[in-house]
A = this chain, B = another copy of it.
Amino acid sequence: MKSFKQRSACPISSSLDVLGDKWTLLILRDILFKGKSTYGEFLQSAEKMATNILADRLVNLEAHGMLTKVVAPGKKSKFTYHLTEKGIATLPILVELVLWGAQHFSTDIDVGLLEEFRTGKGVAIEKYKRLARETLA
């Protein structure tokens, strides 16, 4: 159990203390945009996250109250991970990362989704938030 330490009182710095690495936000992406919820599903992503890193990040996210680990119904050895409101609230950050990334790199993002984000950002965000809350139930 390592204690969390903010480097400063700056909100950006504090956010990065939790989200500032190459993997954490990809887990949130998998949950929010790809409907994933299990350890095995996270491992299958194109970026090939190492198993120990994934386990570490899941513990971290849970420790920060961003997701909850739930035993799958009828299967004691399978778990599903669901976002809390704090986790869902990272959606606008992810959307801006999508827009910046799609603008400045060669990516394979769906043009329809991109257009949805560009023209109706607020509506799109609300839609995905609703989706995340539904999967929780």
Interchain CB contact under 8 A, A16 and B12: no
Q: Is A76 among interface residues, defined by CB-CB distance under 8 A?
A: no
Residues of B close to A22: CB separation below 8 A: 7, 16-17, 20-21
* Chain A 27-57 near chain B by CB (<8 Å), digits 1 or 0: 0010000000000000001111000000000
Besides the contacts A6-B106, A7-B46, A96-B96, what 15 more A-B pairs have beta carbons closer than 8 Å?
A: A7-B22, A7-B47, A9-B106, A10-B107, A11-B100, A11-B102, A11-B107, A11-B109, A14-B104, A15-B100, A15-B105, A20-B21, A89-B100, A89-B104, A95-B96
Give 13 A-B contacts (CB < 8 Å), ordered by A residue: A8-B45, A9-B107, A11-B98, A12-B26, A12-B97, A12-B101, A14-B107, A15-B101, A16-B22, A19-B97, A21-B21, A89-B104, A93-B97
